[in-house]
């Protein structure tokens, strides 16, 4: 499994999910330890390869056991533990190797963010992610959900500044809980929840989620609208939209209409119709490295350039959906200014007086223990 991520470039979450299906006898506690170990190996891949002197997954895993001061299992083979420890100490002084960052990405991020901010942020992104859930206010309220989760043995902590969020610590999978099955909660990072709040939706509005995907933010918008109005979820991926429909039924989000963007007419026919537009555009995903640590290895300079071009294309093509006086949120889960602030400046420079920036902000370490999100709220003047 580890080989498929390290050598094959597959997504870690998909490989991990497959592993769980293959090991149904594992209890939740065992499963949580295995999952975190796999992610930890991927986070420190470059350091482990350099300290162990090999990129062979079996050897990398043995080196990880030494790094975490664990007994090396016999099936992984023999390893010179004193030498590996010495190398880990020596290499710990090299930022790029210690934090396992591709050389080209280190140069880009340092140029955009500054040397020290980038290094501090990358160190934070190599820590395990906190688990957040969002209470579905269409079905319950945060105090009631919190009490139910605590009664089942979970630690549920309210999060300052995020009124629908709970930070969870629990032995079993949240997806296996009765609360999830009943649609009382959704797994969603606290910073991701902030996106829907910033859009300022109310009941009765016509709202469009232009890059809806599987619908995490769509469902939050429906709850904030009190299930009143019209909420159109657009995406180019039919499979993700089907997942969204299932989630909407479970959540009781009856105002959601999922529509596949299979021709340009789907967007053009709705020009000037939206009070609010959410554009959570495809991006590098560097802001969610704690959850998807392998993304740094899938990304290349060429793919980053393609993403920037796609972001500009989406901004230009979807912005006309907003009616005069309406608002649009441009969102990325990237740490790079070239995917955030610079894209918004580029858009505004080409719009004359038609659009204006109302606010922009970033979420994530060191201010919040969340994923990294950039949010820009723009208003259409005329």
Distance CA 12, CA 22 (A): 15
Answer whether the bond into residue 366 is a cis peptide, omega within 30°.
yes
Query: What is the secondary structure of 191-242 as a DSSP string?
Result: HHHHHHHHHT--TT-EEEETT-TT-HHHHHHHHHTTT-SEEEEEES-HHHHH
Beta pairing partners, 375:
331, 361
For the chain, the residue count is: 382
Distance CA 93, CA 238 (A): 47
Residues serving a catalytic function are 333
Distance CA 163, CA 134 (A): 9
Distance CA 157, CA 168 (A): 7
First-to-last alpha carbon distance for the chain, in angstroms, is 54
CB atoms within 10 A of CB 48: 29
Q: Pairing between strand 355-363 and 373-380?
A: antiparallel
The alpha-carbon radius of gyration of the chain (Å, integer) is 22
CB atoms within 10 A of CB 266: 14
């Amino acid at each position: 499994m580890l080989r498929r991520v390290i050598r094959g470039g597959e997504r870690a979450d998909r490989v991990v999910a497959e592993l769980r299906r293959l090991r149904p006898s594992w209890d939740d506690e065992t499963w949580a330890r295995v999952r975190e170990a796999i992610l930890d190996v991927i986070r420190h891949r470059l350091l482990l390869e350099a300290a162990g002197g090999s990129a062979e997954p079996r050897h990398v895993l043995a080196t990880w056991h030494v790094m975490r001061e664990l007994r090396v299992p016999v099936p992984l083979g023999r390893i010179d533990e004193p030498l590996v420890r010495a190398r880990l100490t020596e290499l710990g002084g090299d930022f790029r190797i210690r934090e396992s960052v591709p050389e080209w990405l280190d140069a880009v991020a340092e140029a955009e963010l500054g040397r020290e901010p980038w290094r501090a942020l990358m160190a934070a992104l190599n820590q395990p992610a906190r688990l957040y859930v969002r209470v579905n206010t269409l079905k319950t309220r945060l105090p009631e959900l919190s009490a139910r989760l605590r009664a089942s043995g979970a630690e549920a902590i309210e999060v300052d500044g995020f009124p629908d969020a709970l930070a969870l610590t629990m032995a079993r999978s949240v997806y296996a809980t009765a609360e999830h099955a009943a649609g009382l909660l959704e797994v969603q990072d606290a910073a991701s929840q902030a996106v829907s709040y910033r859009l300022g939706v109310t009941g009765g509005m016509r709202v469009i989620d232009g890059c809806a995907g599987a619908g995490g933010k769509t469902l939050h918008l429906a709850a904030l609208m009190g299930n009143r109005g019209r909420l159109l979820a657009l995406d180019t991926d039919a499979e993700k939209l089907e997942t969204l429909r299932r989630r909407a039924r479970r959540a009781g989000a009856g105002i959601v209409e999922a529509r596949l963007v299979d021709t340009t007419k789907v967007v053009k026919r709705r020009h000037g119709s939206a009070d609010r537009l959410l554009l959570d555009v495809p991006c590098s995903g560097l802001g969610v490295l704690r959850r998807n640590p392998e993304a740094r290895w899938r990304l290349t300079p060429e793919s980053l350039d393609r993403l920037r071009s796609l972001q500009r294309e989406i901004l230009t093509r979807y912005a006309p959906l907003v009616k005069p006086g309406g608002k649009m949120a441009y969102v990325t889960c990237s740490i790079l200014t070239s995917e955030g602030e610079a894209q918004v400046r580029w858009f505004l420079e080409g719009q004359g007086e038609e659009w204006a920036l109302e606010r922009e902000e970033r979420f994530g370490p060191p201010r919040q223990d969340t994923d990294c999100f950039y949010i820009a709220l723009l208003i259409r003047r005329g």
